[in-house]
Structures are given as structure tokens and as C-alpha cells.
Amino acid sequence: MESNILTAVLMPLALGVIMLGMGLSLTIADFKRVIIYPKAVAIGLANQLILLPLVAFGLIQLFGLQTELAVGMMILAACPGGATSNLISNLAKGDTALSITLTAFSSLITVFTIPLIVNFALVRFMPDGEVAQLNVFHTVVSVLVITILPVSIGMLVRSKAQVFALKMETPVKVLSAIFLALIIMAAVLKEKENVLEFFKQAGPVALALNVTMLAIGFYGSRLLKLTERQSATVSIETGIQNGTLGIAVAVTIIGNSEMSIPSAIYSLIMFATAGVVIYIGNRTIKHN
């Protein structure tokens, strides 16, 4: 597969399908729920938009991750929660409505925060200018086109043809899962000569970030008096990231495949830890 075909066509197409699937599950009411439980939404967004990048930066320093892999980890930390988090929240007996609301808002806000965080990472971890800083306006437009546009189309379809949208939700989710697997495989294969070494370097950081944010999300929310179901959802939204977007930003917008490896590794790890979260949720959370 030619790298230009991957970056120019297949990657945006795959991400577009995934985000379209998320749009099919969203309604305007999902954005209005912030009025119903503003505290839970505020805590979730603070974890996602502020704590996650800070913890990622701290772990990068602690583990001594450097250059492209360090930037790649910050790219992942800048991304919103993925549509997968809504499914996991539901399976773990979390508050699915809150999960959808947090995913919707974080997806909107990170369009503008991604270029700021990524440029900070490029300056901090690649100070010699090996990779040029992102043009903020161009990046915002690019992320809008590959994320918010397909989500908006999905929402429009849902509002105009609800029966059709509901019927298409499952097929699109299956197709999204296939695309996600292919994207991860492509990212890994593109760096196949160094992939084992990259896993050794970035794997522990990705695992530590995932587990740390899951724990902070849940126990921090409980400390702030959210319900168990809300706390589980905040935990999942904080620990399950849109790795597909992270790979797309690295490969398509920046043009550096090595920076995509942390997102690929994190995506694999988060599915394993999500299984544990689902098991614990079903054992401990009372659905009330």
C-alpha cells in the first residue's frame, strides 16, 4: 500500500466512517444534557481536556520517552474520547447518556485544542525543528473536516430519517471496528522494522496512562460526589481515547508514521483494560 494512498485517502475515509457512525447515535438532546447534570459534564471534560494531557506529559518525563514517540503520546492525550467509549460505558453499566454527551462535547472542543497541544509537544520534544509546527488554522479545518463534518452528517441523517439511522447504526459500527483494526495494523506495519523497540519504549507509558486515567476518572468523581454510574462513565471517557484520530493526526496531518505508534499501542491496551472495567462494572454497579 502506497503511503500517499494511506494518508490521503484511506485514513480520512476510515475516520470519516467511524465519526459518521458516532453521528448516527447523536441528537441535539445530547448537547442539552449539560443542563441536566452540569457537575458530571464539567468533571468529565476537566479530566479529558486538562488532566489527561498533564498526566501524559508527566509520564513521558517519568519514563524518559523522547522525540517522535513522546510527541505521539501527547497527540493521543489531545484526542477526545472515541465512539467506542459509549459502547463500553453501556456494557459496564455506566451512564450512557452522560457518556454520549461527554464524547460529543470533547469532540467539539478538541478540534481547537489539538493543534495547541501538538505544537507544544513539537517544541518541547523536538526542539531542533525536525518537524515543522502545525499551522493552527489549517489543522483546525482538517480536524473539522475529518471529524465534525461526518458527525454532523450522521446527526442530520438521524434527524431526517430516524428509522434508517437506527437501522444503519449496527452495520456502521461493525464497519468502524473493521476500519479501526485495519488502521492499527497499517500504523504498525508501516514501522515494522522498529515496532518491537517502539513497543518497549511506548508500551509502558501507554499502559500507565490508561490505567492512571481510568483510576483518576472513577475515584476522583466519587470523591466529588458523583454517582457510581456517573463515575464509571467519567472513568471510561477519560481512559478510552480516539486512537484512530491520533493516528490520523500523526500520519495525515503531520506526515510522521512513527508518531502514530503510541496511539496504535494505546488502542490495543485500552480494549484489554476495557474488558476489566466492564467486568468490574457488572459485578459492582447497581443499575438504578
Is 264 part of any domain? yes
Q: Which of 82, 73, 95 is nearest to 232 (CA)?
A: 95
Q: What contacts 21, CB < 8 A, 6 or more positions away?
A: 83, 154, 169, 172, 173, 175, 176
Does residue 287 lie within any of the structural domains?
no
Q: Quote the pLDDT of residue 130.
A: 67
Q: Any residues with CB less than 8 A from the CB of 15 and at least 6 apart, and which?
A: 146, 147, 150, 179, 183, 244, 245, 248
Q: Provide the pLDDT for residue 34.
A: 72
Q: Is residue 15 assigned to a domain?
A: yes
Q: Is residue 253 domain-resident?
A: yes
- pTM for the predicted model, two decimal places: 0.85
Q: Cα 170 to the chain's mean position, in Å?
A: 20
Query: What is the average pLDDT value for the chain, to the nearest integer?
Result: 84
pLDDT of the residue at 6:
56
The tens digit of pLDDT for each residue in 109-162 reads: 988 999 999 999 999 998 776 676 778 888 888 888 877 888 888 888 888 888
Residue 124 lies in a domain: yes
CATH classification of the domain holding 225: 1.20.1530.20
Secondary structure class of 41 (helix, strand, coil): helix
Closest to 138 (Cα-Cα) out of 129, 146, 126? 146
Q: Which domain holds residue 82?
A: 3-281
Q: How many domains does the chain have?
A: 1
At 2 the pLDDT is 43
> Is 192 inside any structural domain?
yes
Beta bridge partners of 81: 241
Quick check: is 288 in a domain?
A: no
Residue 286 in any domain: the answer is: no
pLDDT higher than 60, residue 288: no
Is residue 284 predicted with pLDDT exceeding 50? yes
